[in-house]
Structure 1
Amino acid sequence: MKKKLGLIGEKLPHSLSPKLHKEIFKNLDIQGDYSLIELKENQLEKFLTKDIYSYLGVNITIPYKIKSMDFVEVSKEAQEIGAINTILVKDGKLFGYNTDYFGFKRMLEENNIFVDGKDTFILGAGGGARAVIKYFLDRDVKSITIVVRNIQKAKIQLDSLIKNKENIEIIDFKTLEYGNYNGYIVVNCTPVGMYPNVENSPITKEVSKNFENSVDLIYNPLETKFLKFARENNKNSLNGMYMLIAQGVASEEIWNNINISKEVIEKIIKSFE
């Protein structure tokens, strides 16, 4: 019997997750079915308390990575991050994990981006941003500047993660644009620039000049306007494709209780090129 898996989110037409998991099934000879599950906010509770029990597990994307925590037993690393992106259904219970952290870590390391002791910038304060903040804190960066639209809301949202951390500052986009800020890396954790709104960027080309590395968690399109600005400024740019694949592989490891080799990850990446 096929293992029933899927992705829950609000708007999913751009998602490459079914293709990714199909490749994983093929490479590991897993009998699986991975579907897209679009839910409005008022449908989330019903899915996570009733419908999910016909699945082995699901991934979670925007905007439910934080809300979904209320319905599951949360792993230690996901509890610290304050967001989940993977649920395992086992023995009639739901277990929540965060594989975004693992995916982001692998993506930077594979591309020789090492943030230890560096000034780092994060755009956004949602579930993806929380995994990035936790990784930066674990790498002992020099500073973290979080750029958001609503500073007060972000302070409340991120309180458990950033409380008592002296090297973290939260500013708004206008302050970033007109202040004297520069750093080793800026990571876009917002959906700005994602298909179909590909003409948008969270920062201007002028602001983009101030960062050695621009990393976008978005993978569709492969080059967002945010990354295009970095390339045109002769700076390093990196899209979210490797992270997507690495976090997807980590989810499959949890669902199937297996370890997947680096060689398999590289094979899957080649199939997306």
Structure 2
Amino acid sequence: MDQYRVFGNPIKHSRSPYIHQAFAKETAQELTYQTQLIELDAFEQDIKAFARAGGKGGNVTVPFKEQALALCDQVSKRASLAGAVNTLSFRDGQILGDNTDGIGLVKDLLANKVPLKNSRILLIGAGGAAKGVVLPLLEQQPQQLMIANRTLSKAEQICQLVSDGRLTCCTFEQTNNYDFDVIINATSASLDGHLPAIPEKVIAGAEVCYDMVYAKQLTPFLLWAKEAGANKVIDGLGMLVAQAAESFNIWRGVMPSTDEVLQQLRADLT
């Protein structure tokens, strides 16, 4: 039976085995999917050992996404821009890498009926999570995609790499000079109970605020956005499921439905 895994450290908390096993059942695919804890200095040797043993592919989570990129023989354009790989495929002795985070985000936004075409989008943060979603967001033809970051030079590096007239950047404080329809938090601030230093006026004027992380309750960012007056707030659970479906499609050539899995995960959180 074909074997897949998710590699990370820590890894116990991962919902990926449940998600992919549900996808396999729905699509009648014969496979197993398990977690594998990798020691911080053993990523390359463990991945290659799994591939040699007949593994077909895997997902990569923190803190190994950048190492995964360096390990690959071929990578997709979106993974190259992100500087990170979350989906590995082992074929003909080669390691292929992709990054499905961005398309997962876009699919979840569209599933929540968030208009992206001709919209003004603010992306908060310029780390790996932000880099991974820039190209898929631009493919939706927004009017503007602005990256705001505390350190402006990091946002400027992304703009230089992509070189698209709709893509601009600014500091957190400078967002006060603009209006946005959709605001996406790509920082990890919510995981630490913190908020990005965006003026509340900017948040209040948005139609939709999206946090790429999720929790049992509203994340600190989404709670703040809701209290500030944002019309709609969405967490990243749907993105998690949608990016997993993209990985599954890369491996198996079939796109699973995400609705039932997402509903079950949401129920498990409450």
Instruction: Mark yes or no: TM-score above 0.5.
Output: yes
Alignment match, 1:191 = 188
Question: Are the equivalent residues in 1 in contact too, given 2:159–2:168 (CA < 8 A)?
Answer: no
- Give the unaligned 5+ runs of structure 2: none
In the alignment, does 2:256 pair up with 1:270? no
Equivalent residue pairs, number: 262
Question: Are the equivalent residues in 1 in contact too, given 2:159–2:169 (CA < 8 A)?
Answer: no
Question: Are the equivalent residues in 2 in contact too, given 1:205–1:229 (CA < 8 A)?
Answer: no
Question: Are the equivalent residues in 2 in contact too, given 1:222–1:241 (CA < 8 A)?
Answer: no
Cα distance, 1:13 vs structure 2: 4.6
Deviations 1:107-160 (A, max 9, x none): 111111112222211112233312321123222222222122322244345642
Counterpart CA distance in 2 for 1:80 and 1:166 is 17
Say what the alpha-carbon RMSD is for the aligned residues: 2.7
- Give the unaligned 5+ runs of structure 1: none
The share of aligned pairs that are identical, in percent, is 26
Which letter maps to 2:178? Y
SS of the residue 1:121 aligns to: strand
- Quickly say closer, same or farther: Cα 1:218–1:67, change in 2 above 3 A: same
Which letter maps to 1:136? L
Cα distance, 1:94 vs structure 2: 0.9
Alignment match, 1:201 = 195
In the alignment, does 2:243 pair up with 1:247? yes
Alignment match, 1:65 = 65
In the alignment, does 2:249 pair up with 1:256? no
Counterparts of residues 101-250 of structure 1 (less than 5 Å):
101-156=102-157, 159-161=160-162, 163=163, 165-176=164-175, 179-194=176-191, 197=192, 199-203=193-197, 206=200, 207-221=202-216, 223-235=218-230, 236-250=232-246
Counterpart CA distance in 1 for 2:225 and 2:188 is 17
Counterpart CA distance in 1 for 2:245 and 2:7 is 17
**TM-score, normalization by structure 2:** 0.83
Cα distance, 1:81 vs structure 2: 5.2
Counterpart CA distance in 2 for 1:157 and 1:64 is 21
- Quickly say closer, same or farther: Cα 1:127–1:52, change in 2 above 3 A: farther
